Amino acid sequence: MATSWESFLQDEQQLEELARQAVDRALAEGVLLRTSQEPSSSDVVSYAPFTLFPSVVPSALLEQAYAVQMDFNLLVDAVSQNAAFLEQTLSSTIKRDDFTARLFDIHKQVLKEGIAQALRVIPWADGLSLQFSPQTVFLGLNRSDYMFQRSADGSPALKQIEINTISASFGGLASRTPAVHRHVLNVLRKTKEAAKILSNNPSKGLAMGIAKAWELYASANALVLLIAQEKERNIFDQRAIENELLGKNIHVIRRRFEDISEKGSLDQDRRLFVEGQEVAVVYFRDGYMPSQYSLQNWEARLLLERSRAVKCPDIATQLAGTKKVQQELSRVGMLEVLLPGQPEAVARLRATFAGLYSLDMGEEGDQAITEALAAPSQFVLKPQREGGGNNLYGENMVQALEQLKDSEERASYILMEKIEPEPFGNCLLRPGSPARVVQCVSELGIFGVYVRQGKTLVMNKHVGHLLRTKAIEHADGGVAAGVAVLDNPYPV
């Protein structure tokens, strides 16, 4: 869809000057990353990659994504509470995927011991159900990601890629990018267009959820513990949330899993203490990839899960975000089971689902593999991994499926319909690279926050968006993986 600034993409000299101004504004606004050379230090930083211009997003699809976010919050929360569903859904995956199996082992151990603050565990006919005391608090900060599927008639449709239930990132930097694109358009004297760039402050909303959980924990001197990686390039994104909390007089400490192993402890009431300080909320910005765990780190994760502190996410919610769960949710009738009596929410959710297929051993999995090998351009092979850069496409997918098709290891993957958006031109700005126009596609994320106390949902909100754009030459990968760049939607 054409924009009033499209002609500027053709003027190489003006493009370079505009890029210099945009980069300066990004630095001034704090759209920052640490460098790959010094990922543990803020002595030298650079701007986070971003698009020179905002990218067109149909208003109707943006509104649809916002409207369904609170339904996704409810769905994730419902899945996390349904131990029988999680066990049944992940039973084949945990046999072949060690990482998911380790997470599930902690989940089982916590259930067996009894969730801190829970009254008792009651076995019902439909599986294991938990009855919580009024004090038990659960916090979800998630991000549901979509692309715009090109329909046969050329119109775009909103289709979910995945939902991130742990370490959903870039809420902080997404809060700072609107000012950059407004500046670019104002430089071009496109003031009306600049005014259409939506205000966006996910960091404020994410902090609001943490603050509510901290408040319900009801210990005025307790802290928020952010579990961080030692080499963290994206620290300014995280600091934005920390700073919002500090403005509410809620103090945050950053520690690694290793620090928890050495200096973390539980008292007889299972209150969590780190270096003698009580912790009300544990916010994970680490712990979503196998490489982030040593034996010591697994022990630290178990300690945190056993504690009374509010976990974001708790282990069940992390499992609720796995690809296998996403695939199972797409089965006919499954949403109705998890969200009974909510047909409108079910309809909104189902409208965003792309095709998702099990690769479990048996006729269903065999059929999915046969179809993917016959038309590899129409599918994506997904392992149970977060962090970007893990999916397999085209010839790489074919080779993997040929190796996996007779092995039970295939159950650790799912197959997904490949989304085919309409490409468009934009200029991607990266440190050390010249400004050049390339064909791109975008991915829209909506941030969601919910807080539950016992069985009562006390907060359920959408709190902002994230648009990431990448060149069509890259099949997979986000900003952290060095492929996509930050962007803003230009609603039309």
C-alpha distances (whole Å) from 295 to each of 113, 229, 432 are: 21, 16, 39
108 belongs to the catalytic site: no
Which of 55, 169, 175, 297 does the annotation list as catalytic?
A: 169
143 belongs to the catalytic site: yes
Which of 255, 285, 323, 410 does the annotation list as catalytic?
A: 323
User: Quick one: angle between helices 59-81 and 343-350, nearest 10?
Assistant: 120
34 belongs to the catalytic site: no
CA angle 204, 206, 212 (to 5 degrees): 100
Which of 25, 239, 301, 382 does the annotation list as catalytic?
A: 382
DSSP code of 430?
Answer: -
Which of 255, 271, 468, 470 does the annotation list as catalytic?
A: 468
Which of 386, 445, 448, 478 does the annotation list as catalytic?
A: 386
CA angle 38, 40, 45 (to 5 degrees): 55
Contact 64, 158 (CB under 8 A): yes
Give backbone dihedrals phi and psi of 392, rounded to 5 degrees, phi first.
-120, 135
Alpha helices in 218-256 (DSSP H): 235-247
Side chain identity at residue 104, one-letter code: F
190 belongs to the catalytic site: no
Token pair in block for residue 422? 């309409």
Which of 25, 34, 46, 143 does the annotation list as catalytic?
A: 143
The CA distance from 417 to 141, in Å, is 26
Helices H / strands E in the chain, number of each: 18, 22
Alpha helices in 91-127 (DSSP H): 93-96, 98-113
- Length of the chain counted residue by residue: 492
Token pair in block for residue 420? 């085919």
Residues linked to residue 32 through DSSP beta bridges, in sequence order: 47
Which of 114, 355, 387, 388 does the annotation list as catalytic?
A: 387
The CA distance from 392 to 395, in Å, is 8
468 belongs to the catalytic site: yes
Which of 46, 73, 164, 442 does the annotation list as catalytic?
A: 164
311 belongs to the catalytic site: no
User: Quick one: angle between helices 12-29 and 177-187, nearest 10?
Assistant: 140
232 belongs to the catalytic site: no
Pairing of strands 223-227, 50-51: unpaired
The CA distance from 30 to 49, in Å, is 12
User: Quick one: angle between helices 202-217 and 235-247, nearest 10?
Assistant: 50
Which of 34, 46, 55, 162 does the annotation list as catalytic?
A: 162
162 belongs to the catalytic site: yes
Contact 210, 226 (CB under 8 A): no
196 belongs to the catalytic site: no
CA angle 115, 103, 360 (to 5 degrees): 125
The CA distance from 48 to 237, in Å, is 10
Mind telling me the catalytic residues?
A: 143, 162, 164, 169, 323, 382, 386-387, 468
